[in-house]
Amino acid sequence: MILVFGKTGQVASELGLMKGVISLSRAEADLTNPAACSAAILAYKPAAVINAAAYTSVDKCEEEEEIAHVINGLAPSAMAKSCADLSIPIVHISTDYVFDGWGVTPFTVADVPSPLGAYGRTKLHGERGVMDSGAVYAILRTSWVFSEHGNNFVKTMIRLGKSQSVVSVVNDQIGGPTSARAIANAAMAIAIGLQGEPEKKGVYHFSGATDVSWAEFACKIFSLAQMDVAVREIPTSDYPTLAKRPLNSCLDCTELTKFDLERPDWISDLTDVLKKLGA
């Protein structure tokens, strides 16, 4: 049995559809109470843990960094320590936001993180807590998550496209759109793999291929949804937000070959998501 934290999140929603998974809601394991998360693991005694829960509102993290620190930093650390006590692996889903987005080449797992804001700082704290826990772990950094669940860029574009003929989207932030289903499949494969090959523990990058700008992503959404919407490309400077976004979110996913995983085709996944959304 695999224990999953984050029952209603995009990735956790996909994991919850899999056999042999028990997903914990906030009522069952409140991430603002790391001790409760630790206790849940010790109570269930699973074969592995996947932490797909996080405080993901990037801008709100700037205003509520203390809460985000507990959820993104302290809770995963507590989970990992319990996994170490039970000698079971943990897969912790992280983010491209641990990097500053400098340069144009994809970030490798060997690159030194340097987050721009509170979200990245708190997620990095969680990564380090997991690494220092003594558990067999995999940090799975991903980017630009989309699905038919929750709030995400695809659903926002579809909503805006129904009321606007022109939508402004930034064209100088580059990354790999990644479906929640693909992330869930990868996380499960890694969790199972680590049970038999703990020596494969470490940091991994996982994002959809190929890398595009948000504007290019939006164009493909409207094209596949057959919506007559024009995309006006703008620089990030024309779309100010409370938290700074990395311009370069490209991730080098080479290490995935250790688990026989490849970068997923996000266009194919997007087509499936749009069908489920009825778009």
Active site positions, annotated: 119
Give percent helix, percent strand, percent coil of the chain, each to the nearest 5.
45, 20, 35
Residues facing 248 on adjacent strands:
174
Looking up tokens 């479906």 gives: 179
Pairwise CA distance, residues 109 & 205, whole Å: 7
Q: How far is CA 59 from CA 46, 138, 157, 159, 244, in A?
A: 34, 27, 19, 21, 9
Cβ-based neighbours of 77, under 8 Å, separated by 6 or more: 34, 125, 126, 129, 130, 132, 133
Q: Computed from CA positions of residues 272, 274, 278, 279, in that sequence, does the dihedral angle turn out positive or negative?
A: negative
The answer to whether the CB of 266 falls within 8 A of the CB of 177 is yes
- What's the full length of the chain, in residues? 279
